[in-house]
Structure 1
Amino acid sequence: MTAIDPNGPVGVVGTGTMGQGIAQVALLAGHPVRLYDVAPGRASMAADAIVARLNRLVDKGRLTTAERDAAHAALQPVTELAGMADAHLVIEAILEELGAKQQLFTALETVVPEDCLLATNTSSLSVTAVAGALRRPGRFVGLHFFNPAPLLPLVEVVSGYATDASAATRVYDTAAAWGKTPVRCADTPGFIVNRVARPFYAEAFRLLEERAADPATIDAVLRDCGGFRMGPFELTDLIGQDVNAAVTHSVWEAFFRDPKFTPSQAQRRLVEAGLHGRKAGRGWFDHGEGASAPLPHTADPCQAPPEVTVSGNLGPAQELTELIAAAGIKIAYAEQPAVGVGQRPPAEPHGAILLPDGTELRLTDGRLATNTHGPDRIVFDLALDYRAATRIALAPGDRVAQQSLADAVGLFQALGKQVSVIQDTPGLVVARTVALLVDLAAETVSQGAATDTDVDTAMRLGVNYPLGPLAWGDRLGARWVTDLLDALHDLYPGGRYAPSLLLRRCAATGRTLLRPAPEGTGAETRKGAG
């Protein structure tokens, strides 16, 4: 371990929510903390707020009085940057403005010791650009905490173009010594989390713009079927529409307006109207006093068919056959013709559930349910776990009979699922979102921005995804994800859905996206690589 001296002073510049949280983390790790803010008196006010939070931790039994008193004694507000003169590490958490950060760090260089590490908590600016104004950029690192810093374990350790490997390692080891879970990342726009997470929001907003479903229904499907803790509409209302939109726009611009990161017109209109979410009393939803939470669209009860036929393997939805049988619905199995040597495989890559009138019920593969070359079908969405899912989304083709749709709804209701019927849209809700998360995660790895394990760790801990996207891609199979994205790309040409090269290579070779650790090394060895 090359962490800084556990007794060495840590400086924190900026006393907003993040600055206070970072200071609390360093204090409870045993460091003396110097707290500075350019606004007179604000550092002292922040120190009082930190002590108040420590007192609440004591009241809750999470901190002893002795630990609280030691932390209180180690916390020192300072009125000038000269108060950082003995710091081993200084972390900046001021406004997201490049010029302000460069001015701060050039001033700090004249104050702190030569071996003092300098770190920015920026979430959107280039670490390389901030360090570009410094005399010694090698000791400068991105150290991106997630809010609230005392509670969330993830820290992204970002190496700028000129960052010394030893400096990044010292900061990484320091974060680990503080009880955090650090991941390494190159200085790429959005780093790991804010880069890979963009489709979670963007696809939901696009579905709304295409009138596939309303916000409450999209949120419910991603939560109850996809296993995400919050839906994107409720989450961005919590984050702030202005904040989320600004990050999206920053990443889009930094990637030279790559269509994979295109911002949402619908969200822009919210921001322009001042409807920034909870803090404004209204965003996608009404958060005013007495407002009730909107309900997702849920189909009325329907009668389940007494029997269905399963033709072929259902792929990622194969688990449904056991659930159907357990619900007391009779299953007949259709024989599949053998594929001889030199013969082409069937046009449909996966099987189908045939309803009594012969209508096909299929897991979405990225195509429309409305079929231009044959009978329409009904498609259903991908689930994280079909057994545990409490909701499923269905989309019928335009010519599907109402009785067929009622049979499909009744079938899933018999399995204990609420059903949301949405408009015929390629990839539905969960499948297209997950496929794009997998794709961006694979692209992040292929471009050397982070290791596969660090990407999955960051997405699980930074935004509470139920699975790391690469692990999710391996569960589905790179071929399945690639085929779904290719189908979307055919319908939406322009590049937004074009699969990454790594994803295509894995699909072609059967190689997993999340590579096993080299023989003789542990997971922790790989996790620290990069």
Structure 2
Amino acid sequence: MGAGIAQVAAAAGHPVKLLDARSDAAARAVAGIRTQFAKLAEKGKMSADAAQAAGERLLAVEQLSDLADAALVVEAIVESLEAKQKLYADLEAIVGPDCIFGTNTSSISVTAIGAALKRPERLAGLHFFNPAPLMALVEIVSGLATDREVAETLFATANAWGKTAVHAKSTPGFIVNRVARPYYAEALRIAQEGAAGYATIDACCREAGGFRMGPFELMDMIGHDVNFAVTNSVWRAFYNDQRFLPSLIQQELVDAGFYGRKSGRGFYDYREGAVKPEAQTEAPQTPAGKITVYGESDLAEALVERLQHSGLSFTRAPESDGRIAEIGLAKLYVTDGRSATQRAADSGVANTVLIDLALDYAKATRLAVAVAEQCEPAAMTAAIGLLQAAGFAVSRFLDVPGLVVMRTVAMLANEAADAVNQGVCTEKGADQAMRLGVNYPQGPLAWADQVGVATIRTVLAHLGASYGEDRYRISPLIQRAVFAGRNIHD
């Protein structure tokens, strides 16, 4: 991270000094960065002269006193409060009074780091994402004592370096590491309940949700030692709030040393000769029975267009009790956070089949479904056949409330809304952070507006009722938006 940040600053025109406690590490980093600049020049991404000049701005130094003339000191040392406090306390005796301190911590309180300083107002978080030269987001994190002008200077600096900066308050996880927790947590809970396998959940998140990687693939890439540690850190920092509860499944992987790609085993086996499991996909079924598509929702319109290409005949009808379609005895609905079995009991519609959320039903290639226990086998196969005829691969989950994409998006939006409600960031900042920091296909709050804030609230309420847990409590920001009849971004 330190080398990446140095590369960004040097490319932007700043003279940069690199210091590392390990002997020759800074010199090796300078050589490596210069090699990166040369490669960029070879690819035509910067001129040879610019690459040469950027490389010449880098200087390896050997002691803290060499940083006396620095205007900004950015540390990317070990994630230890004591180590960071000591470093900045030592720097205070060396640098000038106008020097700004930018900590790249991803999880330690900026307020706590600053508490050891004589002038804590000069310290703020300058949190890059890995790899720093490629990732667009930088979180500017203000501690309790951070001077507003310092935060604004870092904000402007990060933007001048070609990044997108967002302001955040120093709370556990800041924006990204806090709001991202449900992406892992809900998938882990669904897997723990045996509703679907890892590969199936991952495939649905990619092919329906539009995420670049499924949650289990992503955790394996990050490393379970790291991902589990961050989850535990956020959970403890929020005084064991059930919303951030760590997973026993991931605890087992860490205990076994199965850290993911780095160790050769995680949720998947990466050893030589290992075969990655495929997503569960329903065998082809015949769409037998009269087909009716109801209403004009995004799914209904996508289904109409897809069925027109399939050659199947169907009729259209006005919206009726929220159903999207029916074929023969089967009635298809988008999940609202209840299990299919509960919804069938509540509505008296025994042949209930639930469909998961998709980012864009017109482009999705796979859908997760759940079937009520009361549903007749012929109705289930007809419903699956209908979706297959419309061009979807169908993955049947055991009847878990909310399926996977819907409950994940609802919880991501809920956590983002809570961060905004608690003054951690703005609505725009939350969405920018999640799109740019972890490459989500859409910001969680914009996604909530697209799905409908009232729908998100309903899903959360049903999940809370199903599990009886405070984990699914609804953010006051979402509540107010629903009661006011507005979108979150209005």
1:79 maps onto 2:54 in alignment: no
Which residue is 1:42 aligned to?
A: 25
Aligned-partner SS, 1:279 = coil
* Aligned counterparts, 1:380-399, within 5 A: 380-399=355-374
The answer to whether the aligner puts 1:51 opposite 2:34 as a matched pair is: yes
Deviation for aligned residue 1:61: 2.2
Give the Cα separation in 1 of the matches to 2:467 and 2:107.
29
**SS of 1:34's equivalent?**
strand
Q: Partner residue of 2:285?
A: 302
**Aligned residue among 450, 454, 467 for 2:442:** 467
Q: Secondary structure at the match of 2:262?
A: helix
Q: Distance in 1 between matches of 2:123 and 2:131?
A: 23
Can you list the C-alpha shifts for 1:228-259, whole angstroms capped at 9, x where unaligned? 11100001111101111111111111111111
User: Does 82-91 or 41-50 show the bigger shift?
Assistant: 41-50
The letter of the residue matching 1:445 is V
Contact 1:304 1:414 in 2 (8 A): yes
Q: How does 1:452-491 map to 2 (within 5 A)?
A: 452-491=427-466
Q: What per-residue deviation string (whole Å, max 9, x for no partner) do you get for residues 319-352 of structure 1?
A: 4344334433333345679xxxxxxxxxx4x234
How far has the Cα of 1:56 moved from its partner? Answer: 2.0
The equivalent of 1:13 in structure 2 is: none
Q: Within the alignment, does 1:495 sit opposite 2:466 as a pair?
A: no
Match of 2:395 among 416, 420, 435: 420
> What pairs with 1:164-175 in structure 2 (closer than 5 Å)?
164-175=147-158
Range 316-325 or range 252-261, more displaced: 316-325
- Aligned residue in 1 for 2:345: 372
TM-score by length of 1: 0.89
What per-residue deviation string (whole Å, max 9, x for no partner) do you get for residues 299-338 of structure 1? 111112353124556576554344334433333345679x
Percent sequence identity over aligned pairs: 49
Contact (CA 8 Å) 1:363, 1:382: kept in 2 or not? yes
Spell out, residue by residue over 1:383-415, the C-alpha distance to the aligned partner (whole angstroms, 9 max, x if none). Answer: 111110000111111232222121111111111
Any idea what the Cα deviations from partners look like across 1:201-243, whole Å, max 9, x if unmatched?
Answer: 1000001000000000000000000111110000111110111
Residue in 1 that maps onto 2:214: 231
Say which SS state the counterpart of residue 471 (structure 2) adopts: coil
| Runs of at least 5 residues in structure 1 that lack an aligned partner in the other structure | 1-17, 338-347, 516-530
- Residue aligning to 1:8: none
Separation in 1, partners of 2:90, 2:72: 15
Q: Which has the higher helix share?
A: 2
Maintained 8 Å contact 2:323/2:331:
no
Q: Does 1:351 align with 2:351?
A: no
Secondary structure at the counterpart of residue 462 of structure 2: helix
Distance, in Å, in 2 between the alignment partners of 1:215 and 1:113 is 53
Residue in structure 2 matching 1:213, options 174, 193, 196: 196
Distance in 2 (alpha carbons) for counterparts of 1:154 and 1:317: 36
Q: Distance in 1 between matches of 2:367 and 2:214?
A: 15
- In structure 1, the partner of 2:10 is 27
Q: Which residue of 2 aligns with 1:329?
A: 312
- In the alignment, is residue 241 of structure 1 matched against residue 224 of structure 2? yes
Please say if residues 306 and 330 of structure 1, whose CA atoms lie closer than 8 Å, have aligned partners that are also in contact.
no
Deviations 1:179-222 (Å, cap 9, x if unpaired)? 11100111111111111111111000001000000000000000
TM-score (norm 2): 0.96
How well do the aligned residues superpose, as a CA RMSD in angstroms?
1.6
* TM-aligned CA deviation for residue 496 of structure 1: 0.9
3-state DSSP of counterpart to 1:362: strand
Give distance in 2, aligned partners of 1:82 and 1:305: 79
Task: Report SS of the residue matched to 2:216.
Answer: helix
For residue 7 of structure 1, what is the aligned residue in structure 2? none
Contact 2:294 2:300 in 1 (8 A): no
CA distance in 1, matches of 2:257, 2:312: 52
Matched with 1:400 is: 375
What's the counterpart of residue 334 of structure 2? Answer: 363
The equivalent of 2:44 in structure 1 is 61
The 8 Å contact of residues 369 and 376 in structure 1, kept in 2 or not, is answered as no
Cα displacement string for residues 93-142 of structure 1 (whole angstroms, at most 9, x for unaligned residues) = 00000000000000011111100100100001001000110000111010
What is residue 444 of structure 1 aligned with on the other side? 419
Contact (CA 8 Å) 2:298, 2:361: kept in 1 or not? Answer: no
What's the CA shift string for 1:353-396, capped at 9, x where partnerless?
22212x21111111111133432411110111111000011111
- 5+ residue gaps, structure 2, are none
Partner of 2:269: 286
Answer whether contact 2:336 2:462 (CA < 8 A) is retained: yes
SS at match of 1:392: strand
- For residues 106 and 356 of structure 1, what CA distance do their matches in structure 2 show? 73
Q: What is residue 9 of structure 1 aligned with on the other side?
A: none
Deviations 1:258-303 (A, max 9, x none): 1111111101110110000000001000111232332100111111
1-structure distance, mates of 2:184, 2:386: 30
Asked if the contact 1:316/1:476 (under 8 Å) is kept, the reply is: no
In the alignment, the residues of structure 2 paired with residue 305 and residue 401 of structure 1 have an alpha-carbon distance, to the nearest angstrom, of 14
Residue 336 of structure 2 aligns to a residue whose secondary structure is coil
Are 1:152 and 2:127 matched, yes or no?
no
Asked whether the equivalents of residues 314 and 351 of structure 1 are also in contact (C-alpha less than 8 Å), the reply is no
Equivalent of 2:126 in 129, 140, 143: 143
Q: Tell me, in whole angstroms, the C-alpha distance in 1 between the residues paired with 2:456 and 2:325.
A: 21
CA distance in 1, matches of 2:46, 2:176: 31
The Cα shift of 1:491 comes to 0.6
| C-alpha contact (below 8 Å) 1:367/1:487 kept by paired residues | yes
Cα pair distance change 1:312/1:288, threshold 3 Å:
same
61-70 or 327-336, larger mean C-alpha shift: 327-336
Judge conservation of contact 1:317–1:363 (CA < 8 Å) in 2.
no
Distance 1:410 1:119 in 2: 57
Give me the whole-angstrom Cα distance separating, in 2, the residues matched to 1:33 and 1:306. 71
What's the CA shift for 1:43? 1.3
